[in-house]
Amino acid sequence: MADQPHSMADMTLDELRLTLAPMVASASIFDGWSDAAVRSAAQQGGVDADVALLAYPDGAMDMISAWIETIDLAMADALPASTMAAMPIRERIRSLVQFRLDAVAGLEEALRRALAIMAMPQNAPRALKTGWHSADVMWRLAGDVATDYNHYTKRTILAGIYGATLAVFVDDDSAGKSATRSFLDRRIDGVMKFEKAKAKWLNSDRETFSVIRFLGRLRYPAR
């Protein structure tokens, strides 16, 4: 690849892991997330197949995780926090999720197979960690700096929205994936309403009349 500082043959295994990941994803449409897919990607990249396989010691989950990481990195590059800052929060989240959907457009079969593998009981812990990381990247790009329980609830909710949207996306044959876009918009609308209701509830003492506070002010007037 012309934009690489050195050829794939000279890369470290970690560099190779990420560089080959999109090619492995494409090959997995036909070969599944398997050694055969890695060998196909290695041939395409001009890399020794046995070396390429060393970049994915844990097999399919390593391949899938690497693919997702490349999407995380591409998203951060295309939609940095400085760009996101100019958008309303709802549009930030929608744009970030939509970028990820666009990144896997045409690779629905690879995604379907990846989701099936990630759903296996033995892979669930790692799949949850991977999903959490992607949600964390999205929220950070969206400008979230929460460190309290909101940090966790926001990421858990977004990971759920993203996972549900992917499930719709893989089987969506509507023009321009319009069904997926509508589904995503509805889910984000729901979260925005929830956030507004939560904020009002948590700050209810600021929004409603407090008899106790009023009586206290009568007894100890502000100076």
pLDDT in tens, 31-42: 999 999 999 999
Residue 17 lies in a domain: no
Full domain range(s) for residue 95? 80-219
Q: 0.85 cut: is pTM over it?
A: no
Counting other chains too, the contacts that 163-169 makes at CB distance below 8 Å and 24 or more residues apart are: 163/131, 165/97, 165/101, 166/101, 166/111, 166/115, 167/115, 169/101, 169/104, 169/108, 169/111
Residue 11 lies in a domain: no
215 pLDDT exceeds 50? no
Residue 108 lies in a domain: yes
Give me the numbers of helices (H) and strands (E) for the chain, helices first please. Answer: 12, 0
CATH code, domain with 99: 1.10.357
Residue 101 lies in a domain: yes
Residue 33 lies in a domain: no
Residue 95 lies in a domain: yes
pLDDT bucket at 190, cuts 50 / 70 / 90: confident
Cβ pair 53, 92 in contact under 8 A: no
Residue 40 lies in a domain: no
pLDDT bucket at 6, cuts 50 / 70 / 90: low
Residue 96 lies in a domain: yes
Q: Who has greater pLDDT, 76 or 222?
A: 76
How many domains, in total, are found in the chain? 1
